[in-house]
Structure 1
């Protein structure tokens, strides 16, 4: 037997079933035999139908359904020979719906009019008190249902928000990994190309220079493989984030690039060193790495300078070369520069790039906090 999810049924099916149940409950007292032995009056049946049928439309107009059902219930007091049944199930269902869905003014009107009306149109005080208790219980149940639905809505909204946050975090992590892989591979390939191009010159200067060139290529390859292995390990199940590059790695980076080809790169540090967050240190390292990589790929520079200037706790990074990088950068698509900006902005910094002040070469300026 396949279970039926009532929540997925059309409203007219569920509310129609409620109306039938209410009608059957209202007609139950009519199944007995009147005291006089005669049949029950037809008006009693009509009132029972009038109380129950409007329940079909309870979701469309809850307050109107309650008013119609209650008016029909009041009309039953004028049926002289009907069964004594002060409980009107259709009206109670309508009261529940008003409490659960109707605006505040309709709810207050319903509870005041219905509860006080129970004392005026009911024969005995005991019956009136019992009716008032039932109306109040129906109202309280409807409010509890409404509060539960609101609570579920808030939980669902919170779950959707958390799911979106997880998706954004995963997207940011994928972007970070993609940027890291781009920087690592571009840097290693650039060093390899620079050493390969310098290979014929190194061979003419003796085996020592040739061995140094091949060693630089091997070192760049090993370093790239090591960093890629650490990055890709994060993607594995149970993988943990590994330590990222820091400012302490910039001197080694400069030395590696300076020994990779014909460009002499120098490093200067000024100011009182401050404290940066781990993300800011990674951003500074990757910005220097990308700037030097672009220089090797496009600039054909003879000299370059990496300046680290500490001012008011912020680190100002400047990478300047004397090559032709300004023209090359204009036609290179700018992906590297865009990546630098993303890295700097992620830690509250900025990046700008353009022709060097001397009129020749290219300069990248960045601030990380």
Structure 2
């Protein structure tokens, strides 16, 4: 019926869903077509019931038709005022039956009104309205019938009350099932929205980490070389030229990696134009550190890693060396790679001393390293060594690719 369809996150519609606004309130659309169709069905069905119950029930007159129209017309408000509509349709049906008019589709208006009330969350009101309707029918059919039309009417059979009670229970059961399904759908939609927000947050963090790692490393190299160039510009032009060449190379590489990240943002479904960096580029990283005045010794070899683990390992080493350049007075660092027991261990040491006030691990760089490791189920330990200097120890689970590179 109009106003009763809803569409879930996947685009599937369920006929029983009431039409609710985005913030829980009813939509402004009125269910005119369905209400008019139901009103016509009730009027025609009641006329047919009158023909079948001639002599047993009072004939339909103007008052009967007014009651039928009022009971059906109330359903226009079934999404806006479900409680009032439930009691209103039950009251109109009670008056209709109390006046001795034929049994027929008048019950349908009560069923639909109570169904909408239960689905909307007004369970107690719907149960009360149906209970009132059933109690009123019992009262009319077994006690008040002798004073109400039609004349010389007999008491109804108690078996008939059992049928009506079963009909009432069936309405409640179907309504409760629809309400339960609607609540489940609402929870699923909220969970999908929460999962989408979580994925968006994780993607933003990933991009922020990538940009930070790329820019922090390259700008550190540029900063050091710019200082060298300025210091030697007058006394050693050739060395200053070398520093400027290093700055150009570092800035070009940084621009390339930033462009790759931005391309991923613009076309998230496409494969990247260049492969993500991994530990196979460690010699290149060592050369860049040397350009910044840092000598790096590398010991050990990395096993074959899944792309995500390989990228995380590379970025962790890159960020650790960048921090040495920026925050340590040492011009020497050591990188050691070990793997055993299903884990890759990365250890980056420098001899210090610290030159900055933020070397304790509260910066974005160390936070990004910890996030990368945690995303893979690994850990990061970073802090001063007992004998001086600083150490970064990363433990990442191994995920060996089954296919050959």
C-alpha distance in 1, partners of 2:252/2:314? 19
Verify the 8 A CA contact 2:90 2:129 in the aligned structure 1: no
C-alpha distance in 2, partners of 1:145/1:351? 54
Residue 330 of structure 1 and its aligned partner are, at CA, apart by: 4.1
Q: Deviations over 1:124-177 (max 9, x none)?
A: 5xxx55554443233223212211221121122111101100100100110111
The answer for the alignment partner of 2:265 in structure 1 is: 235
Q: Would you say how many aligned residue pairs link Structure 1 and Structure 2?
A: 303
The answer for the alignment partner of 1:172 in structure 2 is: 202
Verify the 8 A CA contact 1:319 1:365 in the aligned structure 2: yes
Q: Deviations over 1:204-240 (max 9, x none)?
A: 4563x44432222111111111111111222225553
The answer for the alignment partner of 1:17 in structure 2 is: 88
The answer for the alignment partner of 1:29 in structure 2 is: 100
> For 1:235, what is the secondary structure of its paired residue?
helix
> Is 1:323 paired with 2:378?
no
C-alpha distance in 1, partners of 2:353/2:191? 48
* RMSD, aligned CA: 3.4
Q: 1:231 to 1:220 in 2, by over 3 A?
A: same
Verify the 8 A CA contact 2:229 2:241 in the aligned structure 1: no
Q: Deviations over 1:54-102 (max 9, x none)?
A: x9998348369727842662464234353369xxxxxxxxxxxxxxxxx
C-alpha distance in 2, partners of 1:29/1:211? 108
The answer for the alignment partner of 2:373 in structure 1 is: 344
Verify the 8 A CA contact 1:353 1:364 in the aligned structure 2: yes
> Is 1:248 paired with 2:253?
no
C-alpha distance in 2, partners of 1:2/1:291? 61
Q: 1:325 to 1:6 in 2, by over 3 A?
A: farther
State TM-score, norm by structure 2.
0.65
Between structure 1 and structure 2, the one with the greater Rg is 1
C-alpha distance in 1, partners of 2:293/2:265? 38
Verify the 8 A CA contact 2:381 2:392 in the aligned structure 1: yes
State TM-score, norm by structure 1.
0.71
Verify the 8 A CA contact 2:86 2:129 in the aligned structure 1: no
Q: 1:123 to 1:360 in 2, by over 3 A?
A: closer
Q: Deviations over 1:272-308 (max 9, x none)?
A: x444333222221111111111111121322111111
The answer for the alignment partner of 1:118 in structure 2 is: none
Verify the 8 A CA contact 1:202 1:213 in the aligned structure 2: no
C-alpha distance in 2, partners of 1:71/1:28? 12
Q: 1:305 to 1:330 in 2, by over 3 A?
A: closer
Correspondence 1:39-188 to 2 at 5 A: 59-60=124-125, 62=127, 66=131, 69-70=134-135, 73-74=138-139, 76-79=141-144, 80=146, 82-83=148-149, 123=156, 131-188=161-218
C-alpha distance in 2, partners of 1:122/1:28? 14
The answer for the alignment partner of 1:117 in structure 2 is: none
Residue 328 of structure 1 and its aligned partner are, at CA, apart by: 3.8
Q: Deviations over 1:233-257 (max 9, x none)?
A: 2222555363432221222112211
The answer for the alignment partner of 1:276 in structure 2 is: 305
> For 2:377, what is the secondary structure of its paired residue?
coil
C-alpha distance in 1, partners of 2:140/2:30? 41
> Is 1:368 paired with 2:396?
yes
Residue 195 of structure 1 and its aligned partner are, at CA, apart by: 0.9
> Is 1:196 paired with 2:226?
yes
Verify the 8 A CA contact 1:299 1:328 in the aligned structure 2: no
The answer for the alignment partner of 2:296 in structure 1 is: 265
C-alpha distance in 2, partners of 1:140/1:11? 19
Alignment gaps of 5+ in structure 2:
1-27, 32-75, 103-113, 398-405
Verify the 8 A CA contact 1:246 1:278 in the aligned structure 2: yes
> For 1:262, what is the secondary structure of its paired residue?
coil
